[in-house]
Amino acid sequence: MNFLVDHDVYFMTVLFLRQEGHDVITAKELSMHEAGDADLLSTAKTLDRIFMSRDKDFGALVFLHAVTSPGVIFLRVTPLEVDQVHGELRRLLREQTEGTLKKSYCVVESHRYRIRQLPYKQTPTEEEPEN
């Protein structure tokens, strides 16, 4: 799977994802370590990458402010729980498809993960004119 990882994600998680065979780009590698949250989501969408962060503000962006997103994985992790969270993250990435994750907001904790489908705006078709 392809990920854009926020600057707040532990480097050991970036290494873990790469060792699992995933394609990971960090915000720092894109010189976006000081970019705003909406810009990070926009870049992830443009690059067709699932966004991963430890910042819970992304949930508000995608659900309350309807910022278009490529899928978000929120890691609820402390340094003492990294191994357990990596285990749940591995389980999530094995049990769910990339297509599903690109339409979801996922919360990964040390003992479980949760998935919620992202809201999306349907564009009008020729049969359904815009009001």
User: Does any domain span residue 130?
Assistant: no
Mean pLDDT of 116-131: 52
**Burial annotation 99-120 (CB, 10 A radius, 16+ → b, else e):** eebbebbbbbbbeebebeebee
% of the chain at pLDDT higher than 90: 68
**33 assigned to some structural domain:** yes
Structural domain range at position 41: 2-117
- Establish if 125 belongs to a structural domain: no
Kindly state the average pLDDT of the residues 59-81.
81
Model confidence at 19: pLDDT above 70 = yes
Could you tell me if residue 42 is inside a domain?
yes
Confidence of residue 86 (pLDDT cuts 50, 70, 90): very high
**Number of domains present in the structure of the chain:** 1
- Mean pLDDT score across all residues of the chain: 87
Does the residue 124 lie in any domain? no
* Domain-embedded: residue 75: yes
Q: Which range, of 21-35, 49-63, 115-129, averages the lowest pLDDT?
A: 115-129
Is 89 within a domain? Answer: yes
